[in-house]
Amino acid sequence: MEITQSVTKYTWDDMPKEQLSDQLSRRLITGNDMMLAHVYLKKGCVVPLHQHINEQITYILEGALRFHIGSENGEEVIVRAGEVLHIPSNVPHTAEALEDTLDVDIFSPPRQDWLDKSDDYLRQK
């Protein structure tokens, strides 16, 4: 059997870490139709209300995030280490780190605003 497409192996520590603010940084791996990110949030970090066309799965490896779904005062969902949250396309949400947190975010399709660095709502000091 011949493999016609190449595969790529990544190591998180080898991926560049992008510092977005004092409290938020990330590493990205992007395929054709999906994006995988390690997102590092310090306790108290707030990701402001936003929405995107990208379907999102958030898997908490360490720490905990409090999400508000629909609006800043919307349904509260706390996701802790070992838990996963699925956010459908175009659903407004916020997130707050309840402790130092490492999460894995999966997006489909890839977040173009993250790739072209037009995600100003994340870059507030």
Tens digits of residue pLDDT in 11-30: 999 999 999 999 999 999 99
Neighbours of 86 (CB within 10 A): 10
Neighbours of 27 (CB within 10 A): 17
Q: Is residue 43 included in any domain, yes or no?
A: yes
Q: Is residue 19 included in any domain, yes or no?
A: no
Q: Is residue 4 included in any domain, yes or no?
A: no
Number of domains the chain is built from = 1
CATH number of 88's domain: 2.60.120.10
**Cα distance between residue 28 and residue 34, in whole Å:** 11
Q: Is residue 11 included in any domain, yes or no?
A: no
Q: Is residue 24 included in any domain, yes or no?
A: no
Q: Is residue 99 included in any domain, yes or no?
A: yes
Full-model pTM = 0.92
**pLDDT above 70 (res 1):** no
Closest CA to 111 of 46, 24, 52: 52
Tens digits of residue pLDDT in 49-77: 999 999 999 999 999 999 999 988 889 99
Q: Is residue 10 included in any domain, yes or no?
A: no
Q: Is residue 61 included in any domain, yes or no?
A: yes
Domain that holds residue 42: 31-122
Mean pLDDT, residues 92-111: 97
